[in-house]
């Protein structure tokens, strides 16, 4: 059908009849309505945190990691008073960082946690751009030394292996130094994880940080020590009526770690370190010592990385801090 010419044209000066239309007011009103409607759809940080922590639990993330997310995100909110995920900006992040009276290393650790939270928000499509990628804190990296054979030998010479606690602690130190396992894996070890015939630890993915199974060999000395420890564990459990099969237990037969931050062996090692002046007797130093010892004996970095359970080989290279002369000597052999 052909449109009639002028059918929809109004031949009256409407403005002169109505006077000045409240165009700006109407516009503002409409914009406010739209703004309110849009913001009502924004996800609250508290809700986002709830969803993300639930996703992390389903994915099998450690409770310590999840609690760090909650701690630092809630601290960010308490400082900045930001309520919605989309209101988090580079400025609010800097405001949060500036409020902290802590070292740059601690700031960096907290920033990484907030960034991880924001990355998960991005994955959930609550944020469109990764604006936080350029925010960083420069920290002078301090080289952390690993334990040496001498450090471990000194400690063992000072412990009374006729005492159950000292025997247990000596075995724990040697397991970490000879296999490189994390202390969180150590406290979950059960007697069934030890294959005495083949002299290996059969570590299931369920007790590993990277959730991957691995087998780690051990020597004759550690084999003998573990056999003695298991016999003593049986006596302790029988005395106190405990039914667990853990390799490392308290003097009452209970689990030695009741939370990620409460670990009897960790506390004992700290005590020995202070008592005997052994600065490199701690779980992380023992793990680094294991890695460095393997490197010194000619092990491939990729193999060391696998043994440590690292998902990124760059993390392994940080463990293996090499002196300039060591690099030169190593490279010269390939010339």
Task: Give me the CATH number covering residue 176.
Answer: 1.10.443.10
In a domain, 32, yes or no: no
The answer to whether 318 touches 307, Cβ cutoff 8 Å, is no
At which of 132, 167, 190 does a domain end? 132
Residues 6+ away with beta carbon under 8 Å from 254: 242, 244
In a domain, 27, yes or no: no
286 and 245 both lie in a single domain: yes
Domain count, the chain: 2
Same domain, 155 and 125: no
Q: Which domain holds residue 100?
A: 45-132
Residue 277 covered by a domain: yes
| Cα–Cα distance for residue pair 217/215, rounded to 1 Å | 7
Tally the C-alpha atoms within 13 A of residue 335's C-alpha that lie toward its C-beta.
7
- List alpha helices for 187-261, DSSP H: 220-240
Q: Do 211 and 122 lie in a common domain?
A: no
* Cross-strand bridge partners of residue 246: 190
Do 205 and 82 share a structural domain?
A: no
Of 100, 132, 164, at which residue does a domain stop? 132
| In a shared domain, residues 73 and 203 | no
Domain presence at residue 138? no
Same domain membership, residue 250 and residue 127: no
Asked if residue 236 is part of any domain, the answer here is yes
Annotate 63-86 with three-state secondary structure: HHHHHHHHHHHHHHHHHHCCCEHH
Residues 324, 228, single domain; the answer is yes
Per-residue pLDDT of the chain in tens (335 residues, 90 and over written 9)? 444 454 444 554 544 544 454 444 333 434 433 333 355 468 999 999 999 999 999 988 888 889 999 999 999 999 999 999 999 999 999 999 999 999 888 999 999 999 999 999 999 999 999 999 989 887 665 667 889 999 999 999 999 999 999 999 999 999 999 999 999 999 999 999 999 999 999 999 999 888 889 999 999 999 999 999 999 999 999 999 999 999 999 999 999 987 766 788 999 999 999 999 888 899 999 999 999 898 888 888 888 888 998 877 777 877 776 555 555 566 666 67
Residues 277 and 187 in one domain: yes
C-alpha atoms less than 13 angstroms from C-alpha of 100 in its C-beta half-sphere: 18
Supply angle C-alpha 141, 146, 152, rounded to 5.
Answer: 155
Give SS3 for 294. helix
Rounded to a whole number of angstroms, the CA Rg of the chain reads: 30
Q: Does some domain include residue 328?
A: yes
């Amino acid at each position: 059908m052909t449109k009639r010419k002028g059918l929809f044209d109004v031949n009256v000066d409407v403005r002169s009849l109505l006077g000045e239309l409240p165009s700006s007011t109407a516009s503002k009103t409409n914009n406010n309505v739209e703004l309110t409607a849009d913001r009502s759809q924004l996800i609250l940080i508290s809700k986002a945190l709830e969803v993300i922590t639930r996703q992390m639990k389903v994915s099998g993330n450690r409770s310590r990691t999840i609690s760090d997310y909650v701690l630092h995100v809630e601290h960010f909110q308490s400082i900045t008073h930001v309520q919605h995920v989309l209101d988090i900006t580079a400025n609010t992040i800097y405001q949060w960082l500036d409020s902290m009276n802590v070292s740059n290393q601690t700031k960096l650790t907290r920033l990484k946690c907030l960034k991880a939270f924001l990355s998960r928000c991005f994955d959930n499509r609550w944020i469109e751009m990764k604006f936080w990628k350029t925010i960083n804190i420069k920290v002078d990296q301090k080289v952390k030394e690993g334990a040496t054979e001498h450090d471990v030998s000194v400690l063992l010479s000072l412990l009374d292996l006729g005492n159950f606690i000292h025997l247990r602690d000596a075995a724990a130190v040697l397991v970490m130094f000879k296999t490189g396992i994390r202390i969180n894996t150590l406290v979950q070890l059960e007697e069934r994880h030890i294959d005495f015939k083949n002299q290996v630890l059969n570590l299931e993915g369920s007790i590993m940080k990277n959730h991957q199974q691995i087998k780690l060999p051990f020597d004759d000395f550690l084999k003998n020590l573990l056999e003695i420890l298991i016999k003593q564990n049986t006596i302790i459990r029988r005395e106190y009526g405990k039914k667990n099969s853990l390799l490392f237990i308290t003097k009452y037969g209970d689990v030695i770690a009741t939370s990620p931050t409460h670990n009897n062996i960790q506390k004992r090692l700290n005590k020995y370190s202070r008592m005997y002046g052994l600065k490199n007797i701690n779980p992380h130093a023992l793990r680094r010592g294991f890695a460095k010892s393997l490197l010194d004996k000619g092990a491939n970095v990729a193999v060391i990385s696998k043994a440590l359970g690292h998902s990124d080989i760059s993390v392994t290279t940080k463990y293996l801090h090499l002196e300039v002369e060591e690099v030169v000597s190593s490279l010269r052999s390939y010339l």
